[in-house]
Amino acid sequence: MPDKEKEQEKRHKMIAESSRYLTLGTETFLPVLIGALVGYYLIDERYGTSPTWTIIMTLLGFVAGMYSLFKTVMAVNKKK
């Protein structure tokens, strides 16, 4: 029984560690997408400034995504 519990605990630990890596794509891409949509639909279409704010908000989303990626990588490295 103890071997089975250790194996199950090891499996849970591996899944928890790998889940950080599985979310990296979403954490990086989602801010870029949100920035582009906000820039286009909420600012550019309302004020007729296309594509100025779409580009600015997309770049800000990219910076936010890279910051999130950097924080996640630093947290993973800190644990090791």
Once rounded to an integer, what is the mean pLDDT over residues 46-64?
96
Predicted local distance difference test score (pLDDT) of residue 23: 85
Task: Specify whether the CB–CB gap between 54 and 32 falls below 8 A.
Answer: no
Type of residue found at 41: Y
Confidence label for 71 from pLDDT (cuts 50, 70 and 90): very high
The CA distances from residue 7 to 11, 17, 33, 56, 60, in Å, are 6, 15, 40, 50, 44
5, pLDDT greater than 80: yes
Predicted local distance difference test score (pLDDT) of residue 12: 86
Task: Specify whether the CB–CB gap between 65 and 32 falls below 8 A.
Answer: yes
